[in-house]
Structure 1
Amino acid sequence: MVKKQQATITYQSEMNQFHLSNGEISYLFQVSSDEKLLHLYYGKALPEKDYSYLVEMHHRPMTTYRQENDLLYSLEHLKQEFPEYGSTDFRHPAISLRQENGSKISDFTYHSHKITSGKPSLENLPATYVEDENESKTLTVTLKDSLTGVEVELLYTIFSELPIITRSVRVVNKGNQTQAIEQIASLSLDLPDAEYDWMQLSGAWGRERTIKERPLQQGIQSIESTRGISSHQHNPFVALKRKNADEFQGEVIGASFVYSGNFLIQAEVDTWDVTRLQVGINPFGFEWKLLPNESFTSPEVVLVYSDTGLNGMSQAFHQLFRKRLARGNWREKDRPVLINNWEATYFDFDEEKLVSIAEKAHDVGVELFVLDDGWFGERNDDRAGLGDWFVNEKRLPKGIGSLAEKVRDLGLKFGLWFEPEMVNKDSKLYREHPDWLIHTPNRKENHGRNQFVLNFGFDEVVDNIFNQMCKIIDESKLDYIKWDMNRPLTDVYDHRLDIRQQGEVFHRYVLGVYRLYEMLVTRYPNVLFESCSSGGGRFDPGMLYYAPQTWTSDDSDAIERLKIQYGTSLLYPISSIGAHVSMVPNHQTNRITPIETRGNVAFFGAFGYELDLNQLTPQELIIVEEQIKFYKKHRSTIHNGSFYRLLSPFDNDNQTAWMVVSKDQKTAIVAHYKGLNEVNRAFQRMQLKGLNSQFDYQIKQQSYSGTELMNAGLVITDSSSGQIIDQNDQTETHDFDSRIWVLTKEER
């Protein structure tokens, strides 16, 4: 039996050194002679000893120094844990406080520390957690600025069985003057060199989380959001990988921000090739007024180290997010196969049409029927109704309860779409409360999709929406909620806050979203929540704390989804990836792909359908029924197994492959997807990953050893490699074909 690793945090007082380790990774820093925190090392586990030699100091021209008559000790040339600007360090700081006299200079020095078992929660913020205190250790280091009395608590949690450290910061004003936080980084990590490639997930609506790479250069490289949401444009994640690193080898550092609003992730490389990686709330448009005796807590950063490449990093994130970020009854429960009516009906529906779709869905094995936009208020198009969360009696004169009952009588669960954060001006809510919009006084409001943003910084706004939603949830006995958010924030201002608090509006909004989510998941623990923001505009770890799955993209084309889901898997577990089979021609690309391939792509996510089953042919309905049977049989393996990316659509536009292996390694599911057919294509074998070398596996009545499948590989050549002579011996291939192999251990 393998002994489980234990996280340890040691403080060696004679060297003033801290060492966080779990046998797989180490993180070290020490307190300097003038009480500053100097970073020593982060990476593969090291033995306990004195690492003071890693603090290197040399005299350099044009350098400023901390102490008179000392030409060695300058923070400009030292790696730090919580750097500040202006007291010999000229790089970007982790914190910037503006004092009442206008000064932004601070000098935080070591005050105390404590080491505890387990992991504390963060006030009003989503964060990873543990269920047993032996799962992690936490170090809290308190720094103090003696002039202002402000204290900073740096929180480091190291997990016992994952190569993961989390970081966050709490600022406490123990002085007698008001402070303004202008910048706060939850993570600041100084690395000793710049020999990394920067990897980010970027894109736009319909093409989210595209993998982009570039070498680090001297200067600053960054990604950010200023939209009030984490955004389609850049996901709050970055990986720094060594030049020789790929999917299965080499060192990779991954950093993910557990936050759903404006963020900034940057790597600053100085001209001595030291890399400073910082992650936190975007200082653009941010300022937090901190009165005496008040505190501010920054969101959490999850830091992963892997020496087994990108897949090693991804699997660490997957395990943590799936089991210790997602919460509640649905965390590891099999997700129901759903059908959503949106692309089938849009706004054109009534109870009879919806029930007919639900009846057909039941016949093929669907488990959850979801009614999307249009069921509420005076909602006949996207110009009216948002904010009025009561039934649209013109469409559903018998009420939402009647429809829910009919669907439930068929044996299906029932779900609804909401967009709680938005309002149309043509609505009862707006007519009664026009001041509830986020808007700037004396200026015209800007709209997005004919809708405006409610100010979730107001408690009464959040409470109103909560009460409206509760009535509908109770009436319909809801099983599922799709929470959408279809535009970024503009005109950001809060007329209830004073001038010095206008920089708080973005963050207060996000806290209001979290508060509504928390109230709902607490009151309705059996409801499955799926987050959405015009698809993947707010697919971030903060949302996973409340909703264990996210609608990945409004682009449901299977071939487009290969890149989207591949990129998403770099960070997020397969169980969180909402993936549906939609109608063809596809509504976003007009592409026609085989229904088999549409299913084979959607299997690797939270599976469902986005179409009208009544429009399918009898043969297609048979395929749908078989797809649902396959998914039900294997969904536990798909969601809880280890995921491996094999062929990247970003490296080869014509092929994608991935696989998932069950925890016990007795089952594996391998998928291969092809783009356009090629004439006389090459023979091809693909090496599999994650199998047990001692097992024999059966694939379509043939036996293979785990060793040969991982080394010699699986033959994936298709019939386009040569001219078809005997139609009985070879299967004809077409554009956008795909194949799935199920591997099962042979029992002897």
Structure 2
Amino acid sequence: MLKENQATIHFRTETNQFHLSNGKVSYIFKASSDGKLLHLYYGKALPESDYSHLVEMHHRPMTTYRQENDLLYSLEHLKQEFPEYGTTDFRHPGISLRQENGSKITNFTYLKHEIIDGKPGLEDLPATYVENNSEAKTLIVTLKDELTKVEVELLYTIFSELAVITRSARVINRGEQTQAIEQLASLSLDLPDADYDWIQLSGAWGRERAMKERSLQQGIQSIESTRGISSHQHNPFVALKRKTADEFQGEVIGLSFVYSGNFLIQAEVDTWDVTRLQVGMNPFCFEWKLEAGEAFTSPEAILVYSDQGLNGMSHSFHQLFRKRLARGEWREKDRPVLINNWEATYFDFDEEKLVSIAEKAHDVGVELFVLDDGWFGERNNDFAGLGDWFENKERLPKGIDSLAERIRSLGMKFGLWFEPEMVNKDSELFREHPDWLIHTPNRKENHGRNQFVLNFGVKEVVDNIFLQMSEIIDKSKLDYIKWDMNRPLTDVYDHRLDAGQQGEVFHRYVLGVYRLYEMLVTKYPNVLFESCSSGGGRFDPGMLYYAPQTWTSDDSDAIERLKIQYGTSLLYPVSSIGAHVSMVPNHQTNRITPIETRGNVAFFGAFGYELDLNQLKENELDIVKEQIKFYKKYRSVIHNGTFHRLLSPFDHDNQTAWMVVSEDQTTAIVAHYKTLNEVNRSYQRMKLEGLNADADYQIDGKMYSGTELMNAGLVITDASSGQINEQNNRAETHDFDSRVWVLTQEGK
């Protein structure tokens, strides 16, 4: 359970001011005399007081004003909580509502508010949660547009122990006319200056979540997805850090979006250096028809404040995601060491071949065998079989239950790969239900990997896949599911909806994915789910609500993974990062790296192997046994400890380092990685983080104080585990060397 601190929400009736605080962070805003919500402050905690003086109004040329004979009150120059375009504010709005007469002008003003203990859930959407109402407080502010009678509920939750505030919006049509939501921000935050560097996690397939950094400038900076998934290209996360901030000190604001579909995050800097930070579902190709009496809820935005640099921001996200976003039995349970057959066999396997791999895996200590693509339907290649979730009798004539029983008889768990959202045209499902595809009438469909997307916005489709999957899960007594998704959405249209609802198809699809996940995790709470989308194409907080780990990238090369896992750790906890040791030459880069380094990288994630152990030499198998032994001993520390980034591969190019410290600070595991070897290398020390300054730690049989290790540093010159060359008394170092140290407190 999270530690309990005191979250407070104060409302000052004399100034209509709201102040959310927990001793770490404050978020302050007020309602103006005409009911507009004006933002006052967000940052390090402030004492309770009246901060109305932070509302500044000045006369400026070429400005429009709210009231006649008043040359001060203009929304263009005020910081707001829920901005609208066209009533003196010319920046991007928090909402755009098209009315039946075509007007998009609204005037939402304060109606009422409610302060409650705990945190309510969001209907049909993943979101953070509490297990005890003392863990958080929630403010619900209701706004109303008098002309349309539409109301908006703004939800603010502040957690007691973490510098975390979550935001969401709910639009309720209490009028008689149909409204069309064209844009709805889950969060809009006006910051008083633009003195920030913007950090995003971007890339492509095989090189996901690389750190990209630039200074904010006048205009709009943004990242987005229009692919129907959160995407390999941009993760739904940004950080704004002060120019002087780094990994260990300085102010940072982190913003994440709990959603698995199209999103938009942007920072708009105006000519007066006010920064409007916004996140929400991407308004591109979006529109939601809201009939009288209906409501629409936006996905959750998560805002984190840190005055201890990027690592401090990450610690809040990690703890929140690990304990109050992920759910179920596997939330904080030790994850099994797995082996996946994909890179070992691809489609070339039968029961005997799989069992031979599993037997060798069992011998070295692997706990879970995962059968990947190719076990179902007529799946002899990637042109057929998707949608038919029953055994491929050509490969598995005795059925999936026979294989599962043989795996389980070895003392191992058994898992399967599914791609439930997809279908091949060469499948029984497509032949029976060709209209279940997402496609545009009278136009040729576009494919990806020879497959097409099922319309998960249709309940009948989701129910069919659920029943198929349930039969296999029951039959094989499945322990684990790898849920893959190997292409973005195209040809987005639903012939069941009218023309005015086609902007709903993307979001309805995501809701269908969530619905299938919810049915499965509810019926099978003991199954460990790992999400995947050609690797990291849908590595987002929305997925973590259902699957506590994600296959981080299809690129399993250890050196490539340094940047991928380092960038991923800005937001996501180590326990969520699927990381495997694969064969060399690597199947993505053709690089040959030592098996020790492959293990040393994969340790910092949900650990496993992606190879045929029968192909390894005896000395390599001995190393594998030691790797598994090490991981089993320390996986609880690795997954549940505090993770610190030390040396960035994006800054140092040739070096990467990180460490994890147990919650009680008695154990720490430090890792250092070198890319290319260097001649006559300089001496080097590396300062550690998060240790007990008053304790002594044993490293390789020697004692060091926590104070020394954090201030003087650990000597890492030629930090390899190589042997000393007797001829020149030098350590033998090589390309792709790495080293892992275990630090234990004296007497622990």
Q: Is the structural similarity TM-score above 0.5?
A: yes
Partner of residue 245, structure 2: 245
CA distance in 1, matches of 2:479, 2:70: 68
CA distance in 1, matches of 2:666, 2:719: 30
Partner of residue 163, structure 2: 163
Give 1:723 shift.
13
Extract unaligned runs of 5+ from structure 1: none
Letter in 2 for 1:353: K
Alpha-carbon contact 1:529-1:549 (below 8 Å) kept: yes
| DSSP 3-state at the match of 2:221 | strand
Give 1:731 shift.
3.5
Partner of residue 74, structure 1: 74
Give 1:732 shift.
1.3
Alpha-carbon contact 2:536-2:553 (below 8 Å) kept: yes
Partner of residue 493, structure 1: 493
Letter in 2 for 1:614: N
With over 3 angstroms needed to count, the CA separation of the structure-2 counterparts of 1:722 and 1:444, relative to structure 1, is: closer
CA RMSD of aligned residues (A): 1.4
With over 3 angstroms needed to count, the CA separation of the structure-2 counterparts of 1:578 and 1:722, relative to structure 1, is: closer
CA distance in 2, matches of 1:318, 1:97: 36
Give 1:718 shift.
1.0
Give 1:725 shift.
5.6
Partner of residue 278, structure 1: 278
Partner of residue 619, structure 2: 619
Give 1:733 shift.
1.3
Alpha-carbon contact 2:725-2:732 (below 8 Å) kept: no
CA distance in 1, matches of 2:725, 2:403: 55
Alpha-carbon contact 2:4-2:134 (below 8 Å) kept: no
Give 1:743 shift.
0.1
Moved more, 96-105 or 727-736: 727-736
CA distance in 2, matches of 1:719, 1:252: 32
| DSSP 3-state at the match of 1:650 | helix
Partner of residue 203, structure 2: 203
Partner of residue 685, structure 1: 685
Give 1:496 shift.
0.2
Alpha-carbon contact 2:672-2:719 (below 8 Å) kept: no
Letter in 1 for 2:606: A
Letter in 2 for 1:668: A
Alpha-carbon contact 1:39-1:80 (below 8 Å) kept: yes
Letter in 1 for 2:274: V
1:542-569 alpha-carbon deviations (Å, 9 max, x no partner) = 0000000000000000000000000000
Letter in 1 for 2:557: D
CA distance in 1, matches of 2:186, 2:48: 27
| DSSP 3-state at the match of 2:638 | helix
Partner of residue 213, structure 1: 213
Q: Does 1:563 align with 2:563?
A: yes
Alpha-carbon contact 1:683-1:721 (below 8 Å) kept: no
Letter in 2 for 1:314: S
Runs of 4+ aligned structure 1 residues displaced above 4 Å come to 719-725, 727-730
CA distance in 1, matches of 2:622, 2:732: 21
Alpha-carbon contact 1:659-1:668 (below 8 Å) kept: yes
Alpha-carbon contact 1:440-1:494 (below 8 Å) kept: yes
Matches within 5 A, 1:602-681: 602-681=602-681
With over 3 angstroms needed to count, the CA separation of the structure-2 counterparts of 1:293 and 1:469, relative to structure 1, is: same
Alpha-carbon contact 1:259-1:542 (below 8 Å) kept: yes
Give 1:5 shift.
2.1
Give 1:736 shift.
0.2
Letter in 1 for 2:566: Y
Give 1:652 shift.
1.4
Partner of residue 535, structure 1: 535
CA distance in 1, matches of 2:677, 2:240: 36
Give 1:721 shift.
14
Q: Does 1:584 align with 2:565?
A: no
Q: Percent identity?
A: 84
Alpha-carbon contact 2:723-2:731 (below 8 Å) kept: no
1:209-241 alpha-carbon deviations (Å, 9 max, x no partner) = 000000000000000000000000000000000
Give 1:15 shift.
1.1
Partner of residue 120, structure 1: 120
Partner of residue 483, structure 2: 483
Matches within 5 A, 1:90-129: 90-129=90-129
| DSSP 3-state at the match of 1:535 | coil
CA distance in 2, matches of 1:332, 1:340: 22
1:591-650 alpha-carbon deviations (Å, 9 max, x no partner) = 000000000000000000000000000000000000000000000000000000000000
Partner of residue 420, structure 2: 420
Q: Does 1:704 align with 2:731?
A: no
Alpha-carbon contact 1:679-1:720 (below 8 Å) kept: no
CA distance in 1, matches of 2:212, 2:198: 8
CA distance in 1, matches of 2:278, 2:420: 32
With over 3 angstroms needed to count, the CA separation of the structure-2 counterparts of 1:720 and 1:617, relative to structure 1, is: closer
Alpha-carbon contact 1:680-1:723 (below 8 Å) kept: no
Partner of residue 452, structure 1: 452
Alpha-carbon contact 2:184-2:281 (below 8 Å) kept: yes
Partner of residue 433, structure 2: 433
Partner of residue 395, structure 1: 395
CA distance in 2, matches of 1:470, 1:21: 46
CA distance in 1, matches of 2:711, 2:688: 8
Letter in 1 for 2:487: R
Partner of residue 43, structure 2: 43
Alpha-carbon contact 1:677-1:720 (below 8 Å) kept: no
With over 3 angstroms needed to count, the CA separation of the structure-2 counterparts of 1:722 and 1:503, relative to structure 1, is: closer
Letter in 1 for 2:247: E
| DSSP 3-state at the match of 1:494 | coil
CA distance in 2, matches of 1:655, 1:726: 27
1:437-477 alpha-carbon deviations (Å, 9 max, x no partner) = 00000000000000000000000000000000000000000
Give 1:323 shift.
0.2
With over 3 angstroms needed to count, the CA separation of the structure-2 counterparts of 1:134 and 1:449, relative to structure 1, is: same
Letter in 2 for 1:385: G
1:637-676 alpha-carbon deviations (Å, 9 max, x no partner) = 0000000000000011110000000000000000000011
Give 1:327 shift.
0.1
Q: Does 1:15 align with 2:15?
A: yes
CA distance in 1, matches of 2:440, 2:342: 34
Give 1:727 shift.
5.7
Partner of residue 58, structure 1: 58
1:1-39 alpha-carbon deviations (Å, 9 max, x no partner) = x99521000100011100000011000000101010000
CA distance in 1, matches of 2:513, 2:5: 37
With the length of structure 1 as denominator, give the TM-score of the two structures: 0.99
With over 3 angstroms needed to count, the CA separation of the structure-2 counterparts of 1:6 and 1:390, relative to structure 1, is: same
Alpha-carbon contact 1:4-1:161 (below 8 Å) kept: yes
With over 3 angstroms needed to count, the CA separation of the structure-2 counterparts of 1:169 and 1:399, relative to structure 1, is: same
CA distance in 2, matches of 1:274, 1:739: 46
Alpha-carbon contact 1:680-1:722 (below 8 Å) kept: no
Alpha-carbon contact 1:693-1:706 (below 8 Å) kept: yes
CA distance in 2, matches of 1:5, 1:523: 35
| DSSP 3-state at the match of 1:651 | helix
Alpha-carbon contact 1:576-1:605 (below 8 Å) kept: yes
Partner of residue 360, structure 1: 360
CA distance in 2, matches of 1:350, 1:583: 21
Partner of residue 258, structure 1: 258
Alpha-carbon contact 1:81-1:188 (below 8 Å) kept: yes
With over 3 angstroms needed to count, the CA separation of the structure-2 counterparts of 1:222 and 1:60, relative to structure 1, is: same
Give 1:726 shift.
2.0
CA distance in 1, matches of 2:721, 2:669: 24
Alpha-carbon contact 1:326-1:548 (below 8 Å) kept: yes
Alpha-carbon contact 2:529-2:546 (below 8 Å) kept: yes
CA distance in 2, matches of 1:225, 1:458: 23
CA distance in 2, matches of 1:461, 1:322: 32
Letter in 2 for 1:42: Y
Alpha-carbon contact 2:229-2:538 (below 8 Å) kept: yes
CA distance in 1, matches of 2:442, 2:475: 41
CA distance in 1, matches of 2:362, 2:543: 30
| DSSP 3-state at the match of 2:547 | coil
Alpha-carbon contact 1:177-1:291 (below 8 Å) kept: yes
Give 1:720 shift.
9.3
| DSSP 3-state at the match of 1:636 | helix
